[in-house]
Structure 1
Amino acid sequence: MAPLLLKPSAKRKATTTVVVHEEPYSIKGFESSMYDIRCFICLGWDQGDMSRLVCNAPVQRCQCRVYICTSHTLDPRFESYCVTCKKPASTVPDPTATALLRSTALVECTSPQCPELITMDDLETHLLSQCPFNLIRCDKPGCPVRYARKDRDAHARACKSISCRFALSAPDGAQLGCSWRGNRSEKYSHACPIGTPQRFGLIRGCYDYLMREIKARDDTIAALKETAGGFSGFRGLGICCERIMVGRDVAATKSLLSECGLLCADLNGLVALQGRTPSSLAVAASWSVAERRGLSLSKKQITGLGCEVSG
């Protein structure tokens, strides 16, 4: 639909300002300019480029300024002539008029139920991130549903895409265990790298242990900050304790959790190549990662991972 160069209907809401060359302007201030540069043929704008008619009279060129949509010049029936002296004329592209219309003329949102009127320059942004009625496709694998942006939360509750039963989500968003996600009908038939509840139990034990470690450190930080708050002369003590704990222990523990997640993806291959049991492999890997991160894991702590430690 052609942009509205006149007053918009009461059914749609129009913005009051536009941005031209990074400066906000009132739409009302452009009304006269928009009227002057509207197309001489269709009395509007087809959302394409604008051109200007230039009189080719050899003696004295007329000083008229007539604009037309460039698309009209492509019509074989189009005849270019001066509207003042009726002499032959030529068409010249006018990027200034095009830019003014794109930043000022109001167009209806292409979403059928959306009441907004926006400029052409803002239409793409409006559709991609703002329009509540624009249909978007669910980004979860295995779900073909398209829904209006305003219904995102409702669809999330009814989405048919599910995760594998051997999946965990770390606090930083990393996926532990099996990362598969898809349609419910494929839940038990996909190629799962974990495969058995026994192996997932090992991962779950590692996850639970590390979550307890993180919580213990967070509780320690909270207790130190609360204690430091009672000393008026040492107000910075709580902040210092938090920087030390987060910078050295909590960050290291979360990193350990993330690296343990990488073990899950290649668990089957490593077991086959090295001939080890999943339990002994996890013990060796946990010790190796802990040493690189400067953490000291005792045999008792390793046992808390659900692994058996010998020697």
Structure 2
Amino acid sequence: MKSNPLYFALTLTCAAATQAAVANDGVTAPWKNLSGNVVYQPHENSTPRILEGADANAFSAIYTGGDINIAQSQGHFYCNEQTLPEGFDPNSATVSESFLFSNVGSFVSCEKTAVPLDGEHFHALDFPYYSDGKVIVTISGSLVEGADPATFTVLEQNQGKDKAHYFFNAGEDVVLPVKKSAKAFSPCYGWANVDGTLYYEGIRQPQADAATFRCFSFTTAADKHGFYSGGGKHLTRIPEDASLNKLKAIEESVFTDGKYVWFVSATGMLLEGLDAKRIKIDDVMGDKEITDGTITWQCPSMGITGEARCEKVIPDA
């Protein structure tokens, strides 16, 4: 997806304001005049930040656009509350989402980017990656170390690969060598198969079986050993005679292979004794009641992590 940079200058008029609001001269939002001090305060509950050297009586907004806002005062130019480097030329500047490109450098949310970026060729890839054809960066402006822009592709959220590497970029960045293949699992978050080995957030998961691994939701996956939640946490077992190729979600948090039934959420349980071919599921004030007409399990929506969440209902005598 290519971005649509917005060009602006001191003479910017409302005709160019399809992506931003243009303010008149004076201290206007997201800036304020507090006791003669010009401050940046985009929200009422955010801490006011003083613009060093700004004069409330000689202040004008040039561009307001959310993450990036430009103003001038007393020969200084400001990006939000940051003073832009001397020599900044607003006629040279372009904005793309939270990125600012100018004759004095490139910025993300008004902070200098880790490496200079070429605004003319800068474009968004799938989240959270961007490229200018020379480097790959994330939405925070961090450099994806070692990434080859010519062969880089996004696998899933926070995961990418190029001709020789797998990348996970969220929190701790991870780079893994790739000899043959790297793939991610949709719609699961964080899981990848790199050369036949499973990883979660770039960390090897030796307990997980790549040959039988399947992904069901953003947080839930399974293999022949059992179900997993985010982080590779093993939730509950899967019997050896279960049919993994038939395993499916029949409702949120309720899974079956046609023989067994599981409740899988923050914790997981095999709901023993149920006839999978006859089960019926009801929502009772947000909790799930799972029954085959003879045996009933109640699975509350709230529970304590690590403890069994479902209870078998004993029918009245």
Q: Does the TM-score normalized on the shorter chain lie above 0.5?
A: no
The higher-RCO structure (CA 8 Å, 6+ apart) is: 1
Greater helix fraction, Structure 1 or Structure 2: 1
Q: Which has the larger radius of gyration?
A: 1
Q: What's the TM-score, normalizing by structure 2?
A: 0.31
Task: Flag the structure with higher strand content.
Answer: 2
Compute the TM-score of the two structures, normalised by the length of structure 1.
0.31
